Amino acid sequence: MRRTAVWDLPVRVTHWLLVVLIPFSWWSATHDQLPWHRRSGYTILGLLVFRLIWGFLGSPTARFSQFLRGPRGVVAYLRGKVAPIMGHNPLGGWSVVAMLAVLAGQVALGLFSVDEDSVEAGPLSKFLSFDASRAVAHLHAKLFWILVGLIGLHIAAIGVYALRRRNLLGPMISGAAPVAEGAEAMPVAPAWRVFPAAAIAGAVAWFVAHGLKI
């Protein structure tokens, strides 16, 4: 079978950085490494902003407009009434959005959190009382397990496809997947677009990390 590009490099780099940083964030929080926890969170914030922008500027499989389908599209897919899809299928697309949304919520809660000794404080905790920041910190600890649940489903889905002899892991590493003869190749987004997207993402993360002050 012919192989063609399915995930562009920015999508893959964003994905694998999250794979590293989410467990690292958990580890640093549970091992008293809050300065590292904060840095990890700011980096994740930057990655989320980048991914959001890339969802409009990126290659077709990166774009929200390409992979987000209404309920009918999801049902049709589940009934197997859809032609093979390059990139996220209608159900997988929503799973990606759910993971990104919970991760964004998790970052937001972290920014407003403070530890019980007020030694470690998120850069936006100054906008809340000590009590409210503590309540947010408890939510931050709880929402993590929802994120873990969604990631668990994501990994389980990859396992199910593997049992059905469809390799989803390889393409997320190499970027290429086998396609049927005659299928059109995906037009990969020009590399220069990474620069404005990364610049905006970096600036937003920096601004938030500094407590919304320049």
Residues in touch with other proteins (CB under 8 A)? 114, 116-119, 121, 125-126, 129-131, 133-134, 138, 141-142, 211
**Residue owning tokens 């809050």:** 34
Output 146 or 155, the one with its CB closest to other proteins.
Answer: 146
Q: How far is the CB of 209 from other proteins (least distance, A)?
A: 12
The torsion of the CA quartet 110, 43, 103, 126, rounded to 10 degrees, works out to 20
Q: How far is the CB of 117 from other proteins (least distance, A)?
A: 4
Q: How far is the CB of 123 from other proteins (least distance, A)?
A: 9
Q: How far is the CB of 141 from other proteins (least distance, A)?
A: 4
Q: Rounded to an integer, what distance in angstroms lies between the CA atom of residue 42 and that of residue 49?
A: 11
Output 41 or 87, the one with its CB closest to other proteins.
Answer: 41
Helices within 79-163 (DSSP H only) = 90-111, 130-163
Q: How far is the CB of 37 from other proteins (least distance, A)?
A: 15
Output 53 or 121, the one with its CB closest to other proteins.
Answer: 121
DSSP element (H, E) containing 64: helix 64-67
Interacting residues of 78 by C-beta distance below 8 A, sequence separation 6+: 91
Output 34 or 158, the one with its CB closest to other proteins.
Answer: 34
Q: How far is CA 137 from CA 9, 55, 110, 209, in A?
A: 34, 30, 7, 17
> Beta partners for 5?
176
Q: Rounded to an integer, what distance in angstroms lies between the CA atom of residue 128 and that of residue 205?
A: 20
